[in-house]
Amino acid sequence: MVLSTLHTNDAPSTITRLLNMGIESFLVTASLNLVVAQRLGRRVCTNCAAPDPDITKEQLMDMGLPADRADVRKVMKGKGCSKCGNTGHKGRVGIYEVLAITDVIKEAILNGVSSTELKQIAIEEAGFKTMRASALNQLLNGITSVSEVLRVSAAD
């Protein structure tokens, strides 16, 4: 097993980057099993966390949450205290995107699909969760804030 680091905006873009670097598509499909993209978001300070009164259900839906999951009561924001240096944030949380290289994904790579098309295939075929979906999950668990979701993830 070999691990490597490549800087891209998301997991599907990694495939495009490898192809643009001149690696043949058959080698990419033969060599990859899994691609992980990550960002670090700031955690809401647990000492001064409180529901964010400025966030509306419509804003959460605009960020990508379905109406039935857009619960504003779960959205937290740090007020700022001595433990977090009055920032409202203390610590970091990983926001991840994991792309499994399935047979359908391999076929798509061999057919030269774009990273956007690859992402859509992965969502439909393998239940791929995007970086934004991961960040929104952390938001609804009260771990990170709306500002961090917007900072670390692109809209789907």
d(CA 3, CA 9): 18
User: Tens digits of per-residue pLDDT, 113-130?
Assistant: 999 999 999 999 878 999
Rounded-to-integer distance, Cα 118 and Cα 133, Å? 17
What is the C-alpha to C-alpha distance for residues 119 and 115, in angstroms, rounded to an integer? 6
Pairing state between β 49-51 and 76-78: antiparallel
d(CA 6, CA 109): 18
Residue 7, token pair as written in the block: 């800087």
**pLDDT for res 2:** 57
Average pLDDT over residues 64-91: 93
pLDDT confidence of residue 3: 58
In Å, how far are 42, 49, 87, 135 from 84, measured between CA atoms?
11, 11, 6, 21
**Rounded distance, CA 31 to CA 43, Å?**
35
Residue among 6, 1, 11 at smallest CA distance from 97 = 11
Share of residues in the chain with pLDDT > 90 (%): 87
Domains of the chain by start residue, with CATH: 11-152 (3.40.50.300)
pLDDT for the residue 131: 95
